[in-house]
Chain A
């Protein structure tokens, strides 16, 4: 059929003319425009996210909580304070709203870790906190020396301090993201790798294998919002895990399954048959062969599978929105917490804060770039070896 086509072409092509050159030039132009569009879009997105976000990124962005906080604390005095009775050094603190006086360092003799708030909960005074009031004296416009004087004039062993902790950081979300990565890989990693071992090393082509493959393919075609609904019905509702790290990780694990299975399958298939035959020929059992001779050679591929999975977890938002929630705090297994990406959505949608979303986006894109680089490096290094 194709030969006939070629022949037909041949007769028309014989009439080479300048119109063909113009036509070809036109199509080259169209192809070039399409490619430039693709590249242009990427450049525009990166430029937009970086330019809007970079201004927000400093040490505070990585180290602080997201929510700002004001508390009335009862701070015990230090055993032996240098500048003042509390054993803290007062200096300038930079916040988004300007420069204020606050805690710039804490001496080792200070007892500020033992502070409590009005609800009598432990609430340590920290470096970076702005001091607003000492006892009954407002100190917002005071100099450092004046604040030291006010502190030293207090007579009790416990001094009342009104403090303000500036927010705007993503520290809890970074930790949540790392926890989410760890937990979901812990769940999906072994299952995916074992499943791939079955498919490559044990399964004979048959109905069961077909069904397994179809199921795996289907999983990769389901949009994440559907995973979110499922996680919400089953993990949040039925199992009563509520909106939590665990519900989120279990949901994401299902999303990761096809990625890990497929990638591991590929790397197992790439292990030469002679490795298996040699091992089996020496009398090793199948399990021993897999453990000692197949899996070690497949490790680079499995590492790539894990890196791809990390990228997917970092990018996931719809499924986690419905299962892990949007709270900005470090979660326990059974409490909710937002990952970076979910927080980027929350600040863009609920607060309309595009700058903050872009700042988080900058961090996410840099992570994605690093992961892409690592997986490229590994695959290049090991494909050459084979």
Chain B
């Protein structure tokens, strides 16, 4: 009988070991899947930089291209002949930055005020219309913003512009403004909603009106949330491709001197020419991607900082 018992115990121990093994394997498996995100970020960063920096250092059979000429160049004119090909992106960088700033300047006040309306002012039935509308705006694919821009905004600008062309910096600004609205509205609305009610009550108790409470108490308290939304909006605007490709005009060179002039954002430069580019031309498109990526990394780092600050509070 004793023998039987020890046999049973051995069996139990074996079963337990097997179970522990399965548990350990499962845990490792889940960890591997969780690490995919890290691998992806690392791989994306490595390959985009590796491929995009190649033409400046190792080059190919067409030789290398001067990084200074690339980053300070005001003209983009690809050619099979390396002697005459020009790959300058400074005017694109300026175009991208100015368009993004314009969209932020117009878009942030509109977004914040809309968020205030949804969170603080709108009665429940109105809220039930406005909120899904903002969600739908966020769900419309960016290419359709571009089609809308090409069909409505560009002809409108052609009518009021001193230039003959409607595709312009101004058109890009408007389209980007529309695109960043839902991002900033949603995040600002959340930030306003988490402001404790005691703030409102305190303000009302001191005799402040609703408007005074909103602008002097609630918005300052929601500041860091709003900043997060704005930074996200900047990231979205500078990385946007398909919405602006149809309305930007995409000239071969020249820094825009007014909002009526066409621009060529970094993103559209890549999407426009990639389908037929090869050799040095293609590699310079990857280099354009590197410039864009540097902007995105900086924006992401700022964002991580802002979020860390919020969680500290």
List A residues at the B interface (Cβ < 8 Å): 2-3, 5-7, 9-10, 13-14, 16, 20, 23-24, 27-28, 30-35, 37-39, 41-42, 44-45, 48-49, 52, 190-192, 194-195, 197-199, 201-203, 211-212, 214-219, 221-230, 232-234, 254, 257-258, 261, 285-287, 311, 314-318, 321-322, 326, 341, 344-345, 348-349, 354, 357-358, 361, 364-365, 368-369, 371-372, 376
Per-position binary interface string of chain B over residues 94-116, scored 1 when its CB falls under 8 Å from any chain A CB and 0 otherwise: 00000000000000011101101
B259 within 8 A of A: no
Q: Are B139 and A202 in contact (CB under 8 A)?
A: no
Q: Which residues of B contact A9 (CB under 8 A)?
A: 203, 206, 208, 212, 216-217
Selected contact of A229 from candidates B37, B40, B109, B270, CB within 8 Å: B270
B78 within 8 A of A: no
Q: Which residues of A contact B122 (CB under 8 A)?
A: 35
Q: Are B178 and A41 in contact (CB under 8 A)?
A: yes
CA–CA, A62 and B185, complex, Å: 36
Known A-B contacts A31-B116, A223-B296, A226-B292; the reply to A49 vs B212 at CB < 8 A is no
Q: Which residues of A contact B220 (CB under 8 A)?
A: 5
**Cβ of A18 to closest chain B Cβ, rounded Å:** 13
Q: Are A219 and B30 in contact (CB under 8 A)?
A: no
Stretch from B63-71, B79-87, B126-134 that touches the partner: B126-134
Q: Are A10 and B136 in contact (CB under 8 A)?
A: no
Q: Are A348 and B146 in contact (CB under 8 A)?
A: yes
Chain A residue with Cβ nearest B126: A35
Q: Are A226 and B38 in contact (CB under 8 A)?
A: no
Q: Are A348 and B30 in contact (CB under 8 A)?
A: no
CA–CA, A37 and B178, complex, Å: 10
Chain A residue with Cβ nearest B41: A215
B140 within 8 A of A: yes
Contacts A/B (CB < 8 Å), 12 sampled? A6-B206, A24-B210, A28-B211, A35-B122, A194-B33, A202-B31, A215-B40, A224-B239, A233-B48, A321-B242, A341-B143, A348-B143
Interface range for B = 35 or more
Given contacts A198-B30, A212-B35, A354-B147, 12 further A-B contacts (CB under 8 A): A27-B214, A52-B151, A218-B300, A223-B296, A226-B292, A229-B289, A234-B43, A254-B40, A317-B143, A348-B246, A357-B143, A368-B139
Stretch from B3-11, B19-27, B165-173 that touches the partner: B19-27
Q: Which residues of A contact B22 (CB under 8 A)?
A: 285, 287
Known A-B contacts A9-B212, A38-B134, A215-B41; the reply to A354 vs B34 at CB < 8 A is no
Selected contact of B37 from candidates A6, A52, A223, A257, CB within 8 Å: A257
CA–CA, A241 and B141, complex, Å: 27
Q: Which residues of A contact B199 (CB under 8 A)?
A: 2
Selected contact of B36 from candidates A32, A33, A191, A315, CB within 8 Å: A191
Q: Are B208 and A357 in contact (CB under 8 A)?
A: no
List B residues at the A interface (Cβ < 8 Å): 19, 22-23, 26-27, 29-31, 33-38, 40-41, 43-44, 47-48, 51, 109-111, 113-114, 116-118, 121-122, 130, 132-137, 139-148, 150-152, 178, 181, 185, 199, 202-203, 206-212, 214-217, 220-221, 232, 235-236, 238-242, 245-246, 267, 270-271, 274-275, 286, 289, 292-293, 296, 299-300, 303-304, 307
Chain B residue with Cβ nearest A227: B44
Known A-B contacts A10-B206, A212-B38, A229-B48; the reply to A223 vs B27 at CB < 8 A is no
Q: Are A10 and B207 in contact (CB under 8 A)?
A: yes
CA–CA, A215 and B303, complex, Å: 13
CA–CA, A346 and B195, complex, Å: 46
**Cβ of B109 to closest chain A Cβ, rounded Å:** 7
Q: Which residues of A contact B300 (CB under 8 A)?
A: 217-218, 221
Q: Are A35 and B113 in contact (CB under 8 A)?
A: yes
Instruction: Name which of A14, A218, A258, A348 has the most chain B CB atoms within 10 A of its CB.
Output: A218
Q: Which residues of A contact B152 (CB under 8 A)?
A: 44, 48
Q: Which residues of B contact A354 (CB under 8 A)?
A: 147, 150-151
CA–CA, A198 and B136, complex, Å: 32
CA–CA, A44 and B152, complex, Å: 9
The 4 closest A-B pairs by CB, nearest first: A223-B239, A315-B141, A34-B113, A194-B33
CA–CA, A24 and B214, complex, Å: 11
Selected contact of A318 from candidates B35, B38, B203, B241, CB within 8 Å: B241
Q: Which residues of A contact B293 (CB under 8 A)?
A: 226
CA–CA, A228 and B148, complex, Å: 24
Known A-B contacts A38-B114, A234-B47, A354-B147; the reply to A286 vs B23 at CB < 8 A is yes
Chain B residue with Cβ nearest A199: B34
Selected contact of A13 from candidates B43, B44, B207, CB within 8 Å: B207
CA–CA, A190 and B34, complex, Å: 11
CA–CA, A261 and B23, complex, Å: 22
CA–CA, A3 and B198, complex, Å: 11
Q: Which residues of B contact A199 (CB under 8 A)?
A: 34
Known A-B contacts A32-B117, A34-B113, A226-B296; the reply to A195 vs B241 at CB < 8 A is no
Q: Which residues of B contact A214 (CB under 8 A)?
A: 304
Known A-B contacts A38-B114, A372-B132; the reply to A348 vs B147 at CB < 8 A is yes
Q: Are A368 and B296 in contact (CB under 8 A)?
A: no
Chain B residue with Cβ nearest A38: B114
Q: Which residues of A contact B29 (CB under 8 A)?
A: 194
Q: Are B47 and A341 in contact (CB under 8 A)?
A: no
Selected contact of A49 from candidates B34, B148, B185, B232, CB within 8 Å: B148
Chain A residue with Cβ nearest B213: A9
Q: Which residues of B contact A39 (CB under 8 A)?
A: 130, 133
